[in-house]
Amino acid sequence: VTFNEHAGEIGRTDAAYETLRARILHHEIRPGEHVKIDQVARDLHISQTPVREALVRLEADGLLAKERFRGYTATPLLSHEGFAQLFSFRRLLEPWSAETAAQKNSADLHVLSREMEDVERHVRLSDAAAPDRLYGLLAEHDVRFHALVAEMSGNRHAIESYDAMHCHMHLYRLYLSARAVVSAEGEAELASFDRHYTTQRASTETVQEHRAIADAILSGQPQEAGDYMRWHLDRSEQRALLELAIVAESQGEPTHG
């Protein structure tokens, strides 16, 4: 295998991974649906090897599950309990990361500072008529922000644990599911819909919460950095629970439990 052939193979795996990931997130592949290797390979006009590799990565992300004799199926959205567990663990890990980051004079301080300035400009200039685009931008910022705080703690295990949770992918998938329900059924039909909730408002709140954390880290105040992170995770969980209630309602499920 020459370098170029190898690079081509990696490119095809990446392309298959990105395509399938998007299809699962946007419910073009529904929870429980069977994903067949030969069919994906035919669809994308590639061989089965890169498809197999992409499926292994999607399994590691928690988007696919491999069952004996059945092959790969798309996993369901995280349950109420699944999100509760995710946020409990984040509350254990991330306030500590923020506290520790504030105690260090990390070389990444200017990266954090620039990240906040960029996202604040984007939210200011964003078009309220294109909420999904704004959410996409914000989701990418959120990954960078939390990963950066973990990294600034200087603890390799904090970074690995944060990455392994794939929390933003679960949150992004939840957001898209809730948006799909709202556009299909209409806000007025949904008992659980908070009329004050908009993508624009959720984005503004998120960025303000991140700003408070960032300022505490930048000015070297560990206690405040930890407290603001805890507060931000509580608020994020509340926003996620609202979206989960919208999805659960559309499926005729109880919103508590």
List of residues contacting Zn ion (CB under 5 A): 142
Q: The tokens 């567990």 sit on which residue? A: 85
Residue number with CB closer to Zn ion (199 or 250): 199
Nearest approach in angstroms of CB 10 to Zn ion is: 31
Q: What token pair was written down for 112?
A: 């954090």
| Between 142 and 249, CB nearer to Zn ion | 142
Residue 145: CB minimum distance to Zn ion, A? 6
Angle between the N-to-C axes of helices 131-152 and 199-218, in degrees from 0 to 180, rounded to the nearest 10: 20
CA–CA gap between residue 153 and residue 150 (Å, rounded): 5
The residue (of 46 and 167) whose beta carbon lies closer to Zn ion is 167
Measured from the CB atom, the residue of 27 and 168 that comes closer to Zn ion is 168
Tell me phi and psi for residue 72, to 5 degrees: -95, 135
CB of 212 to Zn ion, least distance (A): 11
Nearer to Zn ion, 213 or 244 (CB): 213
* Rounded Cα–Cα distance for residues 116 and 196 (Å): 25
The Cα–Cα gap between 154 and 62 comes to: 27
Place of tokens 């392309």: 15
Instruction: Give me the least distance between CB of 146 and Zn ion, in Å please.
Output: 6
- Least separation in angstroms between CB 182 and Zn ion: 22
SS (H, E, C) 115-184: HHHHHHHHHHHCCCCCHHHHHHHHHHHHHHHHHHHHHHCCCHHHHHHHHHHCHHHHHHHHHHHHHHHHHH
Instruction: Please name the helix (run of DSSP H) or strand (run of DSSP E) that holds residue 257, with its range, or none.
Output: none
- To Zn ion, the closest distance from the beta carbon of 86 in angstroms equals 13
- The sign of the torsion formed by the CA atoms of 85, 91, 92, 94 equals positive
- For Zn ion, the closer of residues 99 and 142 by Cβ is 142
